[in-house]
Amino acid sequence: MYANIPAEKFQFAKRTLSHDSKLSTKPVGYFQDAFRRFCKNKGAVVGGIVIALLILFAIIAPFCTPYSPSYTDKLYATTSPKLPLAEKLGWDFWDGCKVKEVGYRAFLQDYALGLETGKDVIKRGEYTVSEDGTLYTYRYNTYYGVGFGKYRIISNEEYLDIQRYQDETGRQVLYPTVAPWARPEATQDKDNANFYYKTEKDKGGKTVPVYDENGDLQINYWEMAAGSTSGLAADYTSKMRIEGEDGFMKGDKQYFYVYGQKVVGGVEVRADYYEYYTYKHTQLLKDGIEEPNFIFGTTSEGKDIFACLSNGARFSFIFATVVAVSNFIVGVIWGSISGYFGGKIDLFMERFSEILGSVPSMIVITLLKYHMGSSTHVLILFISFFLTGWIGMAGTTRMQFYRFKNQEYVLAARTLGARDRRIMFKHIFPNGLGTIVTRFALVIPSMIYSETNLSYLGIINLEHGNITSVGTMIAAGQRDIMFAPYVAAFPCLFLVLLMLSFNLFGNGLRDAFNPSLRGSEE
């Protein structure tokens, strides 16, 4: 019948011809899709950036400081943090100073030290006095405030070399000394080289200054007439004399100050420790240290916190990564065999893991310390973490293998003659990789936290040469937290940032690789 219908009656119901069109987008792989989901999690991205910065700090920072964890200087103990940029900009923080509230005697020592050396011991010379006149408050420079310390005995060669250094650089290291019979009478101050002015002992046995008629301090330098043949004074040939190259006149005699006293073992001198420190490291040790400058301050033992923290962070990252990789390899192999084969093999392997995991780690560490007393604590810590650390990774891997081993693609591969090893690591393992990787990422901060706890409690001592631990630094800072809180603040800040950022990062990985687990806790 349709043959009788005119051709003009036939019309397409749809003017636009339908046909298959070529896909304009590129296929998205599993890891690429996971990365996109991860980038949408802002918290995880921030955590990843912080982790990257902490790792860069651990890698680069040890090479940015001339100090090492083994460095100590008792005179520069609990020195305040000092950042050269802050000092140049005139900021009243991070400038190596601290607020000091003391009585008049202590204030006078700092004030007199600044007068003699010309250094800003009291920052900008500014201080306030309480209404009753008993308490002085000012910003005290912890670098210049060390002053002269005790009288120092150096060799005659070093004595002459310091004079050469002074003339070449124009930096005053040696100052006139005080005669032994004119030094403070109080036993505790007898060897204190900061007293260059006349003093006496009060009724309480404390050293107090003796003022002149104008109320000023009286200089108490040891004087000797020119041409004297006394064998006590050491020759001083430097042009940098406090009294000038021509000395000073008393009556018709010319006098000079004595800068060194000959004693058994060398020459006893008064050396400004800040300048002597610079001379010692630039001229004698030549270890790259130009002037004392501790970015994060120092501990009560005189250790540089920046060097200790950066090296401790590097050790923690390396140690935790090595332990995590070892546990990952063993745990994945153990869990894959247990989960894939199941049955009696799984039963035996699970019971073995449960028995091993039920042993408290503290007992393991104690036994290892008892039987491996001669070994380093780093090795003991590694063995104790490795003995049971892989069990969690094995359990996660076993769970993933049980989840995927009966899927259709696995049955198809087995039907086509694929071997067990190929099925395990070519088909099942990649599909469970998301959860396994998330577990691996969270193992690293867990290892660092455990190592920090053990070293903080003193169970494990990692202080050896240039190796140190964040936990040891926190324990050391706890003792000084009242008067030097920064000793514990910087390592605590590192640990807090590390744990928070890894937690955010791990949650982001979990959500990226397993969208169905978004918002859940494993």
- Fill in the DSSP letter of residue 25: S
Q: First and final CA of the chain: distance in angstroms?
A: 72
Taking only the tens of pLDDT, the chain with its 522 residues reads: 566 777 776 666 655 555 566 666 677 776 788 788 888 889 999 999 999 999 999 999 999 999 999 899 999 999 999 988 877 777 778 889 999 999 998 999 999 999 999 999 999 889 999 988 889 999 999 999 999 999 999 999 999 999 999 999 999 999 999 999 999 988 889 899 999 999 998 888 888 899 988 888 899 999 998 877 667 888 899 999 999 888 888 888 899 999 999 999 899 999 999 999 999 999 999 988 999 999 999 998 999 999 999 999 999 999 999 999 999 999 999 999 999 888 899 899 999 998 888 888 888 888 888 887 666 788 888 888 888 889 989 998 999 888 888 888 888 888 888 888 888 888 888 888 777 887 888 888 888 988 888 888 888 888 877 788 898 899 888 888 888 899 999 999 999 999 999 888 888 887 887 666 554 444
Q: How many CB atoms lie within 10 A of CB 149?
A: 17
The torsion of the CA quartet 41, 47, 49, 53, rounded to 10 degrees, works out to 180
Instruction: Decide if 105 contacts 204 (C-beta within 8 A).
Output: no
How much is the pLDDT for 522? 45
| Token pair belonging to 298 | 């120092």
Q: Measure the CA–CA gap between 517 and 522, rounded to whole angstroms.
A: 9
**Which of 275, 316, 281, 299 lies closest to 62 in space, CA to CA?**
316
C-alpha 447, offset from chain centre: 18
Secondary structure (H, E, C), 210-257:
CECCCCCECECCCEEECCCCCCCECCCCCCCCCCCCCCEEECCEEEEE
- pLDDT of amino acid 202: 84
- Distance CA(517)–CA(236), nearest Å, equals 80
User: Are 443 and 393 within 8 A, CB to CB?
Assistant: yes
Cα separation values, 252 from 224, 225, 241, 244, 255, Å: 14, 11, 21, 17, 10
| 18 three-class SS | coil
The secondary element (H helix, E strand) that includes residue 457 is helix 433-457
Summarize the chain as % helix, strand, coil (round to 5): 55, 10, 35
Cα(372)–Cα(471) distance, integer angstroms = 22
Euclidean distance between CA atoms 336 and 394, whole angstroms? 8
Q: Which tokens go with 55?
A: 């790792």
Q: Residue with structure tokens 């900021």? A: 91
Q: Residue 230's CB: how many other CB atoms inside 10 A?
A: 9
Q: Which helix (H) or strand (E) holds 100?
A: strand 97-102
Which two three-digit tokens encode residue 130? 């309480």
Compute how many other C-beta atoms are within 10 angstroms of the C-beta atom of residue 469.
Answer: 30
* CA angle, residues 302, 315, 486, in degrees to nearest 5: 35
| Cα–Cα distances in angstroms (integers) from residue 8 to residues 167, 175, 283, in the given order | 115, 119, 108
Report which of 356, 426, 363 is spatially closest to residue 392, judged by C-alpha positions. 356
Q: Does residue 16 sit in helix, strand or coil?
A: coil
Residue 9 to residue 380: CA distance in whole angstroms: 93
* Fold of the 46-59+303-517 domain: MetI-like fold (1.10.3720)
d(CA 85, CA 383): 45
Distance CA 121, CA 138 (A): 10
Planar angle of CA 240, 246, 247, nearest 5 degrees: 80
Domain boundaries, the chain: 46-59+303-517, 82-146, 152-177+221-285
- Give the predicted TM-score (pTM) of the model: 0.85
Sign, CA dihedral 411-414-420-424, equals: negative
Phi-psi region of 201 (alpha: psi -120 to 50; beta: other; left: phi over 0): beta
